[in-house]
Amino acid sequence: MSDVSLSPGAEARLAEIRAAAEAAADRPAALGPDIDITRFRTVSEADTIASLDSLERQVKETVLLSGFTADETERSASYFQMDRTPIYERVQKAFDDAIEIMSTEEALKLYGEEMLEKYWWRAVDPGKDKYTAIVALHQTEGYFIRIKAGRKVEKPIQACLFVSESDVSQNVHNVIIVEDGAEANVITGCNIHTDVKEGLHAGISEFYVGRGAKLTFTMVHNWAEDFSVRPRTGIVVEEDGIYINNYVLLKPVKSIQAFPVAKLVGDRSTAVFNSIVYGLKDSVIDLGSETQLIGENTRSEAVARTVSMDRSTVYSRGRLIGRTNTCKAHLDCRGIVQSAESTQWAIPDLASEGAPGAELSHEAAISPIAAEEIYYLMTRGLPKDEAVSMITRGFVSIDIPGLPDVLRKQIDKAIEETSKEAM
């Protein structure tokens, strides 16, 4: 921002953000294992590319598992970041007047005053912990997506944040703005190269859904056994707006801790969270969501399906905070434990704050696969391992609204392969 002229108020806002981050630079997160972030160096720069076909075959195959495809026929726009460099940004011609996509650094330079006043660190506190702090103080890009008012983008927008080297920290800040009356489906994949072992991904995401707007956001994570992940997400939904969040984790990870917070500030606004999580090997997974129902007649639903295997530890959290007498929300958290060495927690959390008429409910259950279900399939000729795999696939195959068919098929295939591998 040094080459951009800003008002005294904007300069003061930047100083405020920096001061909050500096105060939190050594502050551990409230949840999840602590990480020595000083061990990691900053990710390197990479060369830009003219076409996604230029990506090496191994990279294309890896990112395809998270729904990012080099064939952009069924995509309206694409953003690909390699380490710290946005190597590819493109909006399909048919959507030129509906979508803006670029790095957040570029957007901050282009929309400095507006960004700082309305969006920049407004939905996430830069002083929350050392993972927000490292992004605020040492940001390595991230994507900016804006859907213009009244435009309904039929084809999904795709974004990929890729790490190609070990022992690095990728610190990204993403901003998505869906203006009044607009609609979009964003598919984001976070991936690492198959040669990458250890590292850190700190990802700040801020989503702003305007009046009567709708954002469906799908995140698919593909990490590695020694990789740590700390996303921090804030969502603001205005009057009659709809936010749908889909999250899928099917690969091992050293540890991941995420707890997105949706604020339903507008009347009749809605938030839906769906998650499918496999705990594999020694993964420590702490995931959940919080919805603050602030406006009148707000609605929320959170559905989680978790499977813990091997020596994994999985926490599935859900928090609903009702602040109006006309709000209604429900949590549905269910888990299957498939290993005597794994640990699983289901933690529903409901609060009514000055709203005695709020309707908040939950269902939480952890159990093994029922023996009678396995026996039934075995009597039909299936070996035990295949019977367990089939039941597991059925358990996690929740209906994710707005999911493109191609991504749905990829997720179903990955679930099938993961289930088989775990047997």
Q: Give the total residue count for the chain.
A: 423
Distances (CA, A) of 155 to 76, 187, 229: 5, 11, 29
In the predicted structure, residue 327 carries a pLDDT above the cut 90: yes
Which whole number is the average pLDDT over 373-402?
70
pLDDT of residue 401: 55
Which structure tokens are listed for 179?
């203006």
pLDDT of residue 400: 63
In the predicted structure, residue 344 carries a pLDDT above the cut 90: yes
3-state secondary structure of 175: strand
Residue showing tokens 């080459």: 3
The answer to whether the beta carbons of residues 288 and 315 sit under 8 Å apart is: yes
Which whole number is the average pLDDT over 161-165?
96
Alpha carbon distance 361, 354 (integer Å) = 17
Alpha carbon distance 232, 250 (integer Å) = 20
Question: What amino acid occupies position 187?
Answer: I
User: Please, what is the average pLDDT of the chain?
Assistant: 91
Helices 371-379, 384-396: axis angle to 10 degrees equals 120
Alpha carbon distance 99, 90 (integer Å) = 10
- Residue with the larger pLDDT of the pair 381 and 411: 381
Which whole number is the average pLDDT over 248-266?
96
Residues forming a β-bridge with 26? none
Q: Which residues of 165-187 are buried (b: 16+ CB within 10 A; e: fewer)?
A: bbebbbbbbbbbbbbbbbbbbbb
Question: Mean pLDDT lowest for which of 155-164, 308-317, 343-352, 376-385?
Answer: 376-385
Question: What amino acid occupies position 190?
Answer: C
Question: What is Dmax (Cα atoms) for the chain?
Answer: 75
- pLDDT cut 90: percent of the chain above it: 77
pLDDT of residue 417: 59
Which whole number is the average pLDDT over 219-245?
96
pLDDT of residue 405: 67
In the predicted structure, residue 139 carries a pLDDT above the cut 70: yes
pLDDT of residue 393: 64
pLDDT tens track for 89-131: 999 999 999 999 999 999 999 999 999 999 999 999 999 999 9
Which structure tokens are listed for 16?
């405020």
pLDDT tens track for 268-325: 999 999 998 999 999 999 999 999 999 999 999 999 999 999 999 999 999 999 999 9
* Interacting residues of 396 by C-beta distance below 8 A, sequence separation 6+: 276, 278, 305, 307, 415
* Residue 115: DSSP 8-state: I
Which structure tokens are listed for 164?
């190609």
* Residue 91: DSSP 8-state: E
- pLDDT cut 70: percent of the chain above it: 91
pLDDT of residue 383: 79
Domain ranges, ordered by start, for the chain: 8-258, 369-423
pLDDT of residue 369: 75
